[in-house]
């Protein structure tokens, strides 16, 4: 039997039960019933006769089906609410985990960057503290090529400062250790003014590029902190 037919039967059965009650009242000898009541009773009796046997059991079955439907709807609503609550809770957990992972990644990146900077600084310190060649380490020659002079500079100037030192020498003398400025007394690789200043590094300042490099490095360190400091000043002023 379908749900619709059961519910229809329930309505009919309810009508039948009402009719039964009316008949029972007449049988009990109620004196207050009017002629209309008698007619209703007779009509009810006719309806009751039309209902098949076992109608009351079917009414109970229909009622139980309705209760089951209501319970199922309530259970569905509860399950849906529980699922939504669980989804919200999981979403909150996922958001917290994602934020924590992002923070940890950021911290790891910062730590790696700091370690890299520390390593670079250690390399610079090691480069500056490493033993360097002295001007007297190179054999005296009657003349020197540009390549030989540059090699001397590489051995005398700290590695992290060489490029800055080289930039200045490129602009001042093009690596000509005998460069003599005709408009002034500037002389040598670093164009000391006057050239005789370089005698503090060695008496052979006019002919020995190693002596000139030694003096130039000392001058740049003393006045600008380093060859790179001197090169920064040179870029801004075209002299140092």
Residue 111: both structure tokens together: 């730590």
Domain ranges for the chain: 3-87, 135-237
| Cβ–Cβ under 8 Å, residues 202 and 135 | yes
Question: What pLDDT score was predicted for residue 21?
Answer: 45
* Cα angle, residue 176 at apex, residues 152 and 230 outer, rounded to 5°: 70
Separation of alpha carbons 94 and 100, rounded Å: 10
Question: What pLDDT score was predicted for residue 56?
Answer: 66
Question: What pLDDT score was predicted for residue 113?
Answer: 82
Separation of alpha carbons 15 and 215, rounded Å: 124
Question: What pLDDT score was predicted for residue 128?
Answer: 54
State the virtual CA torsion across 117, 155, 201, 193 in degrees, nearest 10.
-70
Separation of alpha carbons 13 and 233, rounded Å: 110
Separation of alpha carbons 59 and 108, rounded Å: 73
Please state which architecture CATH assigns to domain 135-237. Answer: Orthogonal Bundle (1.10)
Question: What pLDDT score was predicted for residue 8?
Answer: 47
Residues of the chain with pLDDT under 50: 1-35, 38, 40-48, 129, 131
pTM of the full structure? 0.49
Question: What pLDDT score was predicted for residue 196?
Answer: 97
């Amino acid at each position: 039997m379908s749900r619709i037919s059961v519910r229809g039967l329930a309505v009919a059965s309810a009508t039948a039960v009402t009719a039964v009650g009316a008949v029972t009242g007449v049988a009990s000898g109620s004196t207050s019933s009017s002629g209309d009541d008698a007619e209703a009773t007779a009509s009810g009796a006719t309806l009751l006769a039309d209902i098949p046997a076992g109608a009351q059991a079917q009414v109970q079955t229909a009622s139980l089906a309705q209760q089951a439907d209501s319970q199922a709807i309530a259970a569905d609503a509860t399950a849906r609410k529980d699922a939504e609550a669980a989804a919200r809770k999981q979403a909150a957990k996922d958001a917290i985990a994602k934020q924590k992972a992002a923070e940890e990644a950021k911290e790891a990146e910062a730590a790696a960057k700091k370690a890299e900077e520390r390593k670079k600084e250690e390399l610079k310190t090691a480069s500056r503290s490493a033993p360097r060649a002295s001007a007297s380490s190179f054999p005296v020659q009657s003349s020197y090529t540009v390549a030989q002079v540059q090699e001397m500079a590489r051995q005398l100037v700290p590695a992290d400062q060489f490029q800055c030192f080289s930039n200045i020498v490129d602009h001042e003398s093009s690596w000509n250790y005998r460069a003599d400025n005709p408009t002034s007394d500037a002389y040598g690789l670093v164009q000391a003014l006057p050239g005789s200043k370089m005698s503090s590094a060695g008496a052979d300042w006019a002919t020995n590029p190693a002596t000139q490099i030694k003096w130039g490095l000392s001058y740049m360190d003393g006045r600008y902190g380093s060859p790179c400091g001197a090169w920064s000043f040179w870029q801004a002023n075209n002299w140092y």
